[in-house]
Every structure is written in structure tokens, then in C-alpha cells.
Amino acid sequence: MLFGERLRAARQRAGLTQLQVAQSLGLSASAYCGYETGKRQPDLSRLRRLSLLLRVSVDELLGLHAAPAPRLPELSSSESEGLSLYRSLDAHGQRLVRLVLNEELARIGTNSAPAQAMVSFRISEQPAAAGFGVYLGPDAFRIVTVPRDALPRGASFGVPVSGDSMEPAYHDGDILIVSESLPSPGDVGVFVMDGMGYVKVCGHGELLSLNPAYAPIPMTEGIRPCGKVIGTLDPRLSDMC
């Protein structure tokens, strides 16, 4: 499979249109289309942003160390209809559908599922803005108990997202899982500037948004990185006490 085919498949799995991805990269629709048709190749910076936006690794997009795709059974007519309806929803609607599916799977498997190891996890009571900044202090955390498997390796704390500047990858209300590793250029990180918390893409001398409606924020000496975003927490788990 060529790069353009892998990119198209990843975009479709993410439920995004070519125009949505193009706008997030600051490209025209025709320029992005060139990536999927093989007429153009993204530079390293845009490749990293594609990886974040589509929630796939750069290695997967490049076809490195990729496991062969399993052969999937053919869909029935009702399954095909359901998939078509799912793809017609916006990102918010698709997230709700996935939540319902997870709830039903949990209900069906309650009696047979093995007990999971539980761990404590800190979640900030104050959000990091995917917008223009809100206060993010060091002492306002609540503790939740979540399954160990729900947290990727290196998870240190959680921070809610406020705003829409990181859409379509992250949405208002999402709980970001943050590691103590400092973000490198191309990584999504949590930053504090003048007492205000931000979630942004670390650029070269600036903080970047995925939503093209937001301009870059110049990085000054007062900006302090708090950690690297390594995932999102299932919203059902964030409500556990």
C-alpha cells in the first residue's frame, strides 16, 4: 500500500473529510488531495501534524513495521447501512455512538470479564485552554480510580480541554492524558504562560493550533511546558470517584 492510500485510509477511519484535514494543516483542499493521490509529499512537520490529527503513528503512515492487515469478514446489508449512517455523523455524533457501543459491550460482558487492576490517577480541576488560555494551577487536582489498562505508559496526570482550537483531534471536555516528558516540536503539550494553561502543538518558537481559526502564539521566556499529551481518557472513567 502506498503512502497516499495509507493516508486516505487513516483519514477515513478518523471520520474526517479531505477539507477538514486540509484546513487543519493550513493547506488548500487540492494541495492536500495531492498527498492522497501521490502527487505531493508532506514535509516532516506536516507529517507529525497528520499523525496527531488522525491519531496514528508516523511509522504507520509511512508503512514502517506495519503488521499485515487481518482479513475482515464481509459486512451484511444492515451492517453496511449502520456504517454508512455512522460515517454521515459529525465527530461529536460519532463519539456518542462509540460511547453507547462501549456501554453495551461492558453490559454484555459484565459477568464474564476478569477483574482489572485499578490505579489512582490525578485529574486537574482546572482546564487547559484549546483557545485563549485559562488559569492552570498546581494544587487543584482530584483523584479518580481507573483501570490500569486505560492509561498509556508514562501517564502522569489528566487535564480537561476547554475550547475548540485543537479540533478536530481534541474537543471541548476531553480529558487529556499527560506524561512528564517535555514536548518536542510537532508534539502536543500542555503549557503555562502567565498563569494561564494551554494545550497546543509545540512548534519552532511558537505554539500552534490544529484549528486554522486560531493564530500561532509566540513562545516567550515566560512559557513553561508541563508535559506531553499521550492520549485521552475515556469520559466515563473521568467521572469515577
Q: What is the mean pLDDT of the chain?
A: 80
What gap in Å lies between CA 139 and CA 181, rounded to an integer? 20
113 or 77, higher pLDDT: 77
Asked if 85 and 44 count as a contact pair (C-beta separation under 8 A), the reply is no
On whether the CB atoms of residues 178 and 227 are closer than 8 A, the answer is yes
Tell me the pTM: 0.55
pLDDT digits (tens, 9 = 90+) for 169-228: 888 888 899 998 989 998 999 988 877 788 999 998 899 999 888 999 888 888 888 899
Percent of the chain residues past pLDDT 90, beyond the cut: 10
Half-sphere exposure of 95 (CA within 13 A, CB side): 16
pLDDT at 188 (0 to 100): 92
Q: What is the greatest pairwise CA distance in the chain?
A: 58
Q: Which residue pairs from 13-22 have beta carbons closer than 8 angstroms and sit at least 24 positions apart in sequence?
A: 13/54, 14/53, 14/54, 14/55, 14/168, 15/86, 15/87, 15/89, 15/91, 15/94, 16/53, 16/54, 16/91, 16/168, 20/168, 21/50, 21/53, 21/54
Indicate the helix (H) or strand (E) that contains 110. none
DSSP one-letter code for 171: -
Predicted confidence (pLDDT) at residue 234 exceeds the cutoff of 60: yes
Cell 493547506 found at: 27
Backbone angles phi, psi at 219, to 5 degrees: -85, 125
Q: Across residues 83-94, what is the average pLDDT?
A: 81
pLDDT class of 134 with cuts at 50, 70, 90: very low
- The answer to whether the beta carbons of residues 195 and 163 sit under 8 Å apart is no
